Amino acid sequence: MTKRSYIVLTLILCSLPVLAQLNPQSKKVTERYFPDADSIEEITPALQKKRGFTNYDELINFITQLQVKHPKLISISYIGESQKGKKIPLVRLTNPDKTDKTRVWMQGGLHGNEPASTEGVLYLLYQLLSNPKYTYLLDTIDLAVVPMANIDGYEKQSRYAANGLDLNRDQTKIMAPETVALKQAFSNFNPEVGVDFHEYNAYRRDFAKMGRFGITTLYDIMFLYTGNLNVPENMRRFTNTVFVNNARKALDTNGLRYHDYMTTGDYMGDTEFNLGSIHARSSATSYALTNAVSTLIEVRGVNLGRTSFKRRIATTFIIGLSYLETAYHNQNEIKEEIAQAEKTQPKITVTSVRKEYKDTIQVIDLDTYETMALDVTIHDALQSSPKLVRSMPLAYIISADQEALIEKLHLLGITTETLSEPKELTVEVYQITAYDNKGELYEKMNRQTVETQLETKTMTFPAGTYFITTNQKNTPLLCEVLEPEAPNSFVNFGVLKTDLNNELPIYRLSK
Ligand SMILES: [Zn+2]
């Protein structure tokens, strides 16, 4: 062998594992369970080329062309910049001749390696503007769409933002510039319905150990809607029984398979399944905590390249369209449910536990290529019960020197006031009675687990102290970030550093 062919061979061999990792799916699985859709027109940028996905210039060109053709119905603004300086577009669609709208927020590409999300959202924009079957939706809907939320990640087909952060773990600590832009735009728009489009990995490492030669998932799509108990019960029910249910029917009609969101987790060495989520660090729960109807959509697609790409785009489009149709036909109900949610002032569930039970799920056996029932243990966030509960204070009070926290609260759509003169108040003080700082970084943050005891004290707060009433729309989100033991709070993420026996600069005003 010549030296040159040796080098070539070495390069090929070295890249094989990478190639295998890029698309783990056999043709048999694709042909039998996920044949591509032929209903999708090749009108979006990635579908107009043989390989690769929509890049930033193609995205801007595509939405600009839509604006040229439909100047009355569409407007484009820029909500901020990616870390590499690319302006993040927000596309607004509505019929300006009509009033009384339902505000619907949609986003794709928050994880940069989930391309059917961006492509599906672009396809939806095109159809809403160009297809006379759908334009009526814009009469009662004000639609705001961020088609490519994580531009730097998307251009590299990487899950993460340029600084390595996962933007869907950043919704309470708000450390990435993209999150700042998205949170500000979301809060300004104040949606009544929010949908975040993603794709999921059907070949998780844990799946390789199941069955004889591993398994893969059967579902085209999984719905993630929150099990967080601080989201008023009526909103959780309304989301599931109206919006998700209509989307399930639309999927049935189109022969697509679905399940509630699940993922695997390690439970003392055993692989078990988590169903749903309660975590405010991710969009589905974060948006729901603003009393919006909120769902995260996971289409089966990560690492599959362009396999079944039209099917994945069709799935995204069908869900997007279904949510808009449901918003159109339930305009009054949405407003009534949100009004009812805002009137509820429940107790605060600071921590909760998931219901645990045995169940079976349908999977594809990679030995026989048949479907099979897999026995699993489920930790069900959709059936959570409260563990640590506190009363709702009238207000939270935060020391004047905590500007960084206040800035984050504003991004989360929470209004704050300041004391104009010193004031004596009887408040509850958090004393840290147990503290654990595991010393390992999560999303570049040094997380802290604490226990606290509330002590009642009368204190004089100087002028400039922040006063945050709980009589406001985003109160559930406020409690989730301020109660120190909550799993995604400012204290938990180390945004507000503390230590054993410390007193927090956050106080509760109860009377
Ligand atoms: Zn994702």
Q: DSSP letters of 83-117?
A: TTS-EEEEEEE--TT----EEEEEEE-SSTT-HHH
Q: Are residues 333 and 399 in the same domain?
A: no
Residue 119 C-alpha to ligand 1 middle, in angstroms?
Answer: 14
Instruction: Kindly state whether residue 364 falls inside one of the protein's structural domains.
Output: no
Instruction: Kindly state whether residue 181 falls inside one of the protein's structural domains.
Output: yes
Q: Are residues 180 and 51 in the same domain?
A: yes
Residue 264 C-alpha to ligand 1 middle, in angstroms?
Answer: 15
Q: Could you give the CA distance from residue 338 to residue 330 in angstroms, rounded to a whole number?
A: 12
Instruction: Kindly state whether residue 210 falls inside one of the protein's structural domains.
Output: no
Q: How are strands ordered across the β-sheet holding 371-390?
A: 215-217, 348-365, 371-390, 270-275, 262-267
Q: Could you give the CA distance from residue 273 to residue 275 in angstroms, rounded to a whole number?
A: 6
Give the position of tokens 């986003």: 107
Residue 198 C-alpha to ligand 1 middle, in angstroms?
Answer: 4
Q: Are residues 324 and 399 in the same domain?
A: no
Q: What's the pLDDT score for residue 4?
A: 59
Residue 83 C-alpha to ligand 1 middle, in angstroms?
Answer: 19
Residue 200 C-alpha to ligand 1 middle, in angstroms?
Answer: 6
Q: Are residues 50 and 152 in the same domain?
A: yes
Q: What's the pLDDT score for residue 18?
A: 46
Residue 218 C-alpha to ligand 1 middle, in angstroms?
Answer: 18
Q: Are residues 285 and 182 in the same domain?
A: yes
Q: What's the pLDDT score for residue 3?
A: 56
Q: Are residues 399 and 501 in the same domain?
A: yes
Instruction: Kindly state whether residue 500 falls inside one of the protein's structural domains.
Output: yes
pLDDT tens for each residue of 82-128: 999 999 999 999 999 999 999 999 999 999 999 999 999 999 999 99
161 pLDDT more than 60: yes
What angle (nearest 5°) sits at the alpha carbon of residue 176, between those of residues 172 and 181? 85
Residue 114 C-alpha to ligand 1 middle, in angstroms?
Answer: 6
What angle (nearest 5°) sits at the alpha carbon of residue 314, between those of residues 48 and 93? 80
233 pLDDT more than 60: yes
Bridge-partner residues for 258, per DSSP? 221
Residue 252 C-alpha to ligand 1 middle, in angstroms?
Answer: 24
Instruction: Kindly state whether residue 314 falls inside one of the protein's structural domains.
Output: yes
Q: Are residues 193 and 300 in the same domain?
A: yes
Instruction: Kindly state whether residue 267 falls inside one of the protein's structural domains.
Output: no
pTM for the whole thing?
0.95
Q: Are residues 337 and 474 in the same domain?
A: no
Residue 389 C-alpha to ligand 1 middle, in angstroms?
Answer: 31
Give the β-pairing of 466-469 and 417-418. antiparallel
How many folded domains does the chain comprise? 2
Q: Are residues 245 and 334 in the same domain?
A: yes
Residue 156 C-alpha to ligand 1 middle, in angstroms?
Answer: 15
Residue 421 C-alpha to ligand 1 middle, in angstroms?
Answer: 47
Instruction: Kindly state whether residue 126 falls inside one of the protein's structural domains.
Output: yes
Instruction: Kindly state whether residue 122 falls inside one of the protein's structural domains.
Output: yes
Identity of the residue numbered 55: N
Residue 223 C-alpha to ligand 1 middle, in angstroms?
Answer: 12
Give the β-pairing of 293-300 and 193-200. parallel
With b meaning 16 or more CB within 10 Å and e meaning fewer, what string describes 188-205?
A: ebebbbbbbbbbbbbbbe
Q: Could you give the CA distance from residue 63 to residue 91 in angstroms, rounded to a whole number?
A: 8
Q: Tokens representing 319?
A: 């869900």
Q: What's the pLDDT score for residue 17?
A: 44
Residue 109 C-alpha to ligand 1 middle, in angstroms?
Answer: 8
Q: What's the pLDDT score for residue 511?
A: 74
Dihedral of CA atoms 274, 277, 279, 285 in degrees, nearest 10, equals: 160
Q: Are residues 49 and 144 in the same domain?
A: yes
pLDDT, mean over the chain: 95
497: enclosing H helix or E strand: none
Residue 505 C-alpha to ligand 1 middle, in angstroms?
Answer: 35
Residue 111 C-alpha to ligand 1 middle, in angstroms?
Answer: 5
Domain end among 321, 349, 377:
349
Q: Which domain holds residue 400?
A: 391-509
Residue 77 C-alpha to ligand 1 middle, in angstroms?
Answer: 24
Domain end among 349, 370, 404:
349
pLDDT tens for each residue of 379-432: 999 999 999 999 999 999 999 999 999 999 999 999 999 999 999 999 999 999
**Residues in the 5 Å CB sphere of ion ligand 1:** 111, 114, 198
